[in-house]
Amino acid sequence: MDSNIDNSPFKNSTWLSARTKKFCSATVLYQAGIHKRSGHSAYWLLQLFLALRFSNSDVYRFQGEDNPLPERSAFYEFLAQKRYNWERLVFTVARQIIAFFSQLTTARGDRVLILDDSSYKRNRSKKVELLGRHHDHNDNTFYKGFRMLTLAWSDGHSLVPL
């Protein structure tokens, strides 16, 4: 993390900074097409975004203080860029984490891919983007909501969402 934000609640996040450097370096971001031409660097914005998430904080708390934090619009624009290949970033980071976990387990251990199709019910919602009507095969009922398709890797001890 940048040393200018030592007075913020994520001053004890050296573990997060070390993991970000190890698994999600600036090179990995650049390979996924995530780079900025001006303003704060994409790597610093991602580190700051992760630190805010892990410290249960948000950008609004630090607005107007003497911190070199970017405006909240910088985060929105960073996350909304369509040219950034977020899927490639997630898979590259997941591949590195899986390789790290594979060193910790035996070679003969079972490794599996888990595919989960879950329902996310929003029956009381009316005007939610991409809200649909789905059939729940377990209850044999219809509901308003979403279907979540999740892929994860596991070795029996660890779980890495893909």
pLDDT tens readout for residues 13-52 = 677 777 888 888 888 888 888 887 777 788 888 888 777 7
Structural domain boundaries enclosing 45? 3-88
Co-location of 55 and 19 in the same domain: yes
Co-location of 44 and 7 in the same domain: yes
Compute the distance between CA of residue 103 and CA of residue 130 in angstroms, rounded to an integer.
41
Tell how strand 112-121 and strand 132-136 pair up: unpaired
Co-location of 79 and 140 in the same domain: no
Q: What is the pLDDT of residue 41?
A: 81
**Residue 101, domain member (yes or no):** no
In the structure, what pLDDT confidence band is assigned to residue 54 with cuts at 50, 70 and 90? confident
Q: Is the pLDDT reported for residue 161 higher than 70? A: yes
Co-location of 64 and 125 in the same domain: no
Q: Is 151 left (phi over 0), alpha (psi -120 to 50) or beta?
A: beta
Q: Cα 26 to the chain's mean position, in Å?
A: 16
Co-location of 7 and 76 in the same domain: yes
**Residue 95, domain member (yes or no):** no
* Identity of residue 60: Y
pTM for the whole structure: 0.67
- Boundary (domain end) residue, out of 35, 54, 88: 88
